[in-house]
Amino acid sequence: MMVQMRSALKTMVFFAVATLALVQFQGCSGGGGGGGTASTGTLKVALTDKLSDDFAEVRIKIKAVKIVPVEYDQNASDDDPLLITIPLAEPSPSFNVLDLAYVQELLGTVTLPVGTYSQVRLILEPNVNGQNPVNYVTLKSDPNTKIPLKTPSAQQSGLKVLGRFVVEPGVINAIAIDFDPNTAIVERGNTPQNEKYILKPTGIRIIQMEDVIPAYGSISGTVVSPFADWSSATVSVKRRGAINDVNPIAAGTIFSNYTSGTWQAPFAVFVPPSTATVAYKAFVAANGFQLYSSAAVSVASKATTDLGAIHLTPTP
């Protein structure tokens, strides 16, 4: 999946596309000095998060971050020397990911070979019996009680976050590990409190962007068609109002999956908040279907403008 961005909007706009519960995102970064040699690129890894319906705090303590190339064994052990390690601060950083809603927290930076990568592993520090947990949740209904967060295998092989991204040569590349606590944390019924909540990579995705963006809003939607197997579609966003883009400020390809009787793929486009004179329009193009064009919509800071289900109409 290839994403193209206008270099004039460097550090302002990024585009993320989701296939079911994970993002498969590849992008071309704009200029920027100090990004490495012709055979290497600099990768920045950040952490971000959506707001939660139920949790007041979701705390994780990250021991290490590993990067896995696409051509390498995706089930390789964590100590495999061919896995690339992102240097982290000492001692291991601890994050309440809910503090990071619509804001990125930079985890680390590394120079690595150019190419395609397909997995990021978050190695977490373990919770120790008899001690205060370092990975835990608190509920909005009881914010003072720390409930241990079970993280199966996250202390050994790591929490495996899937999604392809590209490292371009000689420039700054950036990805964000985006948590959705409403789906990443699974509640088990009829279990003791310290066994109740499990952290899974299902609700965690990789987003690649030109740089780490301090604040933004988003346009989201789900492209669907029960009529035919559409394999891919191009989603693009253009500004409308005082600025009327001929070329999109962000564009990417989404890939469908067959779910609930229809071929579908959700997406999210993250953009700077609208101004009094500039709004956004989204377009979806797929072979064999009519071009979709949304109404001009506004995007507020720290909020999502949801276009809902976008039904593709076959070309007559």
Q: What is the DSSP string of 122-183?
A: EEEPPP-TTS--SSEEEETTEEEEEEEEE-TTTTTT-EEEEEEEEE-TTSEEEEEEEE-HHH
Give the pLDDT of residue 74.
80
Residue 139 shares a structural domain with residue 250: no
Residue 175 shares a structural domain with residue 44: yes
Give the pLDDT of residue 311.
93
Report in angstroms the alpha-carbon separations of 226 from 230, 262, 282, 308: 9, 4, 21, 16
Print the domain residue range for 193: 39-214
Query: What is the reported pTM?
Result: 0.58
Choosing from 182, 214, 246, the residue where a domain stops is 214
Please count the structural domains in the chain: 2
Residue 230 shares a structural domain with residue 186: no
Residue 95 shares a structural domain with residue 166: yes
Choosing from 169, 184, 214, the residue where a domain stops is 214
> Domain with 233 in it: what CATH number?
2.60.40.10
Q: Residue 2, Cβ neighbours under 10 Å: how many? A: 11
Percent of the chain with pLDDT over 70: 79
Residue 58 shares a structural domain with residue 171: yes
Strands 94-96 and 84-86: unpaired
Q: Residue 170, Cβ neighbours under 10 Å: how many? A: 18
In a domain, 17, yes or no: no
What parts of the chain have a pLDDT lower than 70?
1-38, 101-106, 154-156, 171-172, 208-216, 227-228, 302
What lies within 8 Å, CB to CB, of 105 at 6+ separation is: 46, 47, 48, 95
Choosing from 214, 249, 264, the residue where a domain stops is 214
Residue 227 shares a structural domain with residue 143: no
The backbone torsions φ and ψ at residue 180, rounded to the nearest 5 degrees and listed phi first, read -115, 95
